[in-house]
Amino acid sequence: MEQININYEKLIPQKPVTDVVAYALEKGAFQKSYLVYRSDRAYEPLGGQRIDAVLVACSACGREFHAEKIPAAGCSCSYSPAPFGWRNDQLAKSVISGDKTLCPLCGAEAKVVHIGNIRTYGGELVDDAWVTELSQLPVEGLTDRLVLTDWCIRRCVNKQGATRYETWPYTAWVVEEKKVVRLMGYLKNIGGRICLFGEWRQRKTFVDVYGSAQLIVPWDKALLEGTTAENSKLDLYQAEKGGRQLVAYLSLWRRRPNVENLVVQGCGNLVQSWIISEMSSGNYKGGIPKLEKVNWKEKRPAQMLGLTKEEFRQMKQGKWGTEDLKKYRRVRDDGVPVQLPEDMELLREIQYYDCSSILEEAPSRIFGEPSDI
Q: How confident is the model at residue 368 (pLDDT cuts 50, 70, 90)?
A: low
- Whats the size of the chain, residue-wise? 373
Last residue of a domain, one of 117, 142, 176: 117
- Is 204 contained in some domain? no
Provide the 10 A C-beta neighbour count for residue 122. 9
CB-CB contact of 263 with 250 (8 Å): no
Residue type, 118: I
Of the candidates 144, 176, 139, 227, the residue with the CA atom closest to the CA atom of residue 2: 176
Last residue of a domain, one of 66, 82, 117: 117
Contacts of 220 (CB under 8 A, 6+ apart): none
Model pLDDT, residue 80: 67
First-to-last C-alpha distance (Å) of the chain: 56
Model pLDDT, residue 33: 95
> 216-245 pLDDT, tens per residue?
999 999 999 999 999 999 999 999 888 899
Strand partners, 109: 102
- Is 318 contained in some domain? yes
Q: Domain limits at 331?
A: 307-367
d(CA 71, CA 86): 8
Of the candidates 363, 366, 310, 307, the residue with the CA atom closest to the CA atom of residue 336: 363
- Higher pLDDT pick, 100 / 339: 100
Last residue of a domain, one of 62, 84, 117: 117
- Is 321 contained in some domain? yes
Compute the CA torsion angle 224, 227, 229, 231 (nearest 10 deg). Answer: 70
CB-CB contact of 275 with 249 (8 Å): yes
- Is 249 contained in some domain? no
Cα 24 to chain centroid distance, Å, stands at 13
Residue 73 exposed, middle or buried by CB count within 10 Å (0-12, 13-18, 19+): exposed
Average pLDDT, the chain: 89
- Is 323 contained in some domain? yes
d(CA 112, CA 124): 14
Model pLDDT, residue 119: 82
d(CA 294, CA 54): 64
For residue 355, the SS3 value is helix
Q: Domain count of the chain?
A: 2
Q: How confident is the model at residue 372 (pLDDT cuts 50, 70, 90)?
A: very low
Q: Peptide bond preceding 341: is omega within 30 degrees of 0, i.e. cis?
A: yes
Model pLDDT, residue 88: 95
d(CA 200, CA 196): 10
List, edge to edge, every strand of the sheet that includes 145-157: 194-203, 180-188, 163-175, 145-157, 125-137, 215-216
> 164-205 pLDDT, tens per residue?
999 999 999 999 999 999 999 999 888 778 899 999 999 999
DSSP state at residue 73: G
Q: Span 63-91, mean pLDDT? A: 84
> 40-74 pLDDT, tens per residue?
998 777 767 788 999 999 999 999 999 999 998 76
- Is 293 contained in some domain? no
- Is 273 contained in some domain? no
pTM here is 0.87
> 337-363 pLDDT, tens per residue?
778 888 788 888 776 555 544 544 444
Rounded alpha-carbon distances, angstroms, from residue 269 to 236, 251, 252, 320? 10, 17, 15, 9
- Is 294 contained in some domain? no
Name the maximum alpha-carbon separation found in the chain.
100
